[in-house]
Structure 1
Amino acid sequence: MIKEFRNLNGDEIREVKLYLNSLEKNDKSIPQIKEEFNTKVYNFGEGILFFFKDNKVVGSVKVILEAIRHLRVVYIHFLTVANNAENEVHIVSELLTSAINIGKCKGGSKILLGVGNEKILKLLNELGYISSYNSYKMKLENRKTTSEPLELINLSAKNKEEYLNVFNKSFSDMPHGCYYEMEDIEKYLNDNSENRYYLVRDKNKLIGFMNIEIENKVGSFDIGLCNEFRGVGYGKRLLETAIYTLNAVNVDKVTLNVIEKNSIALNMYLKRGFVIDNILSHWIEIA
């Protein structure tokens, strides 16, 4: 039987805790699990599905539902099966069918499945699902910048509306794009980590955004340009600006994540000297 997290009783939630901690070799508490799952990303538990057999969890899947409203896209990920579970193909099939049905019922017209586990990928292959493209983590060896950086403006309470507008204009129409609302930007403003969030300006025009993440001396970034500023050389300059900014905070490593389907970005990174470090996930276009 497949159940949504939001409909589980106390005993079932305790079984979820045992399953997840065994699978992830972790020790999350029930309050931590609830905090993770009861968010708008998964429509407050509706998009978190568990397969129960004999009152035990034998599989799970997560369905990102927040992109449906603006982009009509459903992202399915973190499909799992218990170690030594019987009828693994059946479990995967039932979980995926339920995930797809939820996405369609919510109005999703495009459904994408991301898989990072090779065992799960093989089970999906048995069901006829074949990977369409990959997402990669890339790293940069030569960090010497080749151009002057663009002007960066720190995200603030005063410019948060502008940031939201620029972010959505820059990112919502990209492969695997997303659409932010003000509450997402408020989380950035309340972020007390080393992460940084910027508007990018040139000649008094806001042209895009840049986000920097720093963890354990490893720096990564997201960059985006508003549609009207693409194809005129700003992409390379924005890339150099990101590298320049990470160099300035003395990170040991510069990395980024990219979707293979975003061929323009991938080719730009390869030409700049980024190399593929590893495959993050395989993506299957379901609908």
Structure 2
Amino acid sequence: MIINKRDFYVKGINYTVRSAIDRDAKELSALRLQIDGETENLDREKGEAFIDIPGFEQIIKTDTEHSRNLFLVAVAHDRIVGFSRCEGIYLNRFSHKVEFGVCILKDFWGYRIGENLLKESVSWADANGIKKIALNVLETNDKAIKLYKKLGFEIEGVLKKDKILSDGKYYNTIIMGRFKE
């Protein structure tokens, strides 16, 4: 699905949130690799589950063509600094929901980019009859959990000792969802 682009100005920077397009694939491949190496909040370590340029081209094509998928990018200073995806499951019993994920370059944390990507995704979901948005978040990612709650998500469950981080300790994954009647 494609949305109209939106411009934001937060803490002295301008950025645009728009749908991903084919020519973003090269930049997205490099960006995802970089972001995976900047934080342990995501599922992957740097280099794991690498998506090359043709892989991103296919994801963008699929997400553009399917009404229950949405791939957004945030562009600041003429480069992509973050992205998010909503992906629907195409089984009838799950046709009411999508799963949401987001990645932002660490240098651009604190500019409400993740918040605005999520708000655009929620708006899109509400306008397209999607009743539930689901996501997973690492238990130590307090800022993200607070944001998700602020935007109507609630904790649905906990996957105990779900991830091993660089300190060798196990951490829980929080399952959250937002349901619109």
The answer to whether structure 1 residue 165 and structure 2 residue 44 are counterparts is: no
Q: How many residues align?
A: 140
**Which of these residues, 52, 59, 66, is aligned with residue 188 of structure 1?**
59
Identity %: 19
1:202: how far off? 4.6
| CA offsets 1:9-62 (integer angstroms, 9 cap, x no match) | xxxxxxxxxxxxxxxxxxxxxxxxxxxxxxxxxxxxxxxxxxxxxxxxxxxxxx
Question: Partner letter of residue 164 of structure 1?
Answer: S
- Equivalent residue runs for 1:58-69 within 5 Å: none
* Paired position in structure 2 for 1:208: 82
* Paired position in structure 2 for 1:62: none
**Considering only aligned residues, what root-mean-square deviation do their CA atoms show, in Å?**
3.0
The alpha-carbon distance between structure 1 residues 154 and 189, as it changes in their structure 2 partners (threshold 3 A), is closer
The answer to whether structure 1 residue 152 and structure 2 residue 18 are counterparts is: yes
- Say which structure is richer in strand: 2
Contact 2:72-2:85 within 8 A present in 1 as well: yes
Find the residue that maps to 1:283 and give its secondary structure.
Answer: strand
Find the residue that maps to 2:125 and give its secondary structure.
Answer: helix
Structure 2 distance, partners of 1:267, 1:234, is: 15
Structure 1 distance, partners of 2:37, 2:55, is: 14
> Structure 2 length normalisation: TM-score?
0.62
The alpha-carbon distance between structure 1 residues 248 and 169, as it changes in their structure 2 partners (threshold 3 A), is farther
The alpha-carbon distance between structure 1 residues 281 and 189, as it changes in their structure 2 partners (threshold 3 A), is farther
1:221: how far off? 1.1
Structure 1 distance, partners of 2:159, 2:7, is: 32
Question: Partner letter of residue 162 of structure 1?
Answer: E
| Uncovered stretches (5+) of structure 1, i.e. residues with no partner | 1-146
Structure 2 distance, partners of 1:199, 1:220, is: 16
**Which of these residues, 138, 146, 168, is aligned with residue 267 of structure 1?**
146
Mean Cα deviation higher: 209-218 or 166-175 = 166-175
* Paired position in structure 2 for 1:237: 116
| Uncovered stretches (5+) of structure 2, i.e. residues with no partner | 1-5, 9-15, 90-94, 169-181
Structure 2 distance, partners of 1:240, 1:148, is: 13
Question: Partner letter of residue 100 of structure 2?
Answer: F
1:197: how far off? 2.5
Structure 1 distance, partners of 2:79, 2:123, is: 21
- Say which structure is richer in helix: 1
The alpha-carbon distance between structure 1 residues 254 and 204, as it changes in their structure 2 partners (threshold 3 A), is same
Greater relative contact order (CA < 8 Å, ≥ 6 in sequence): 1
Greater gyration radius: 1
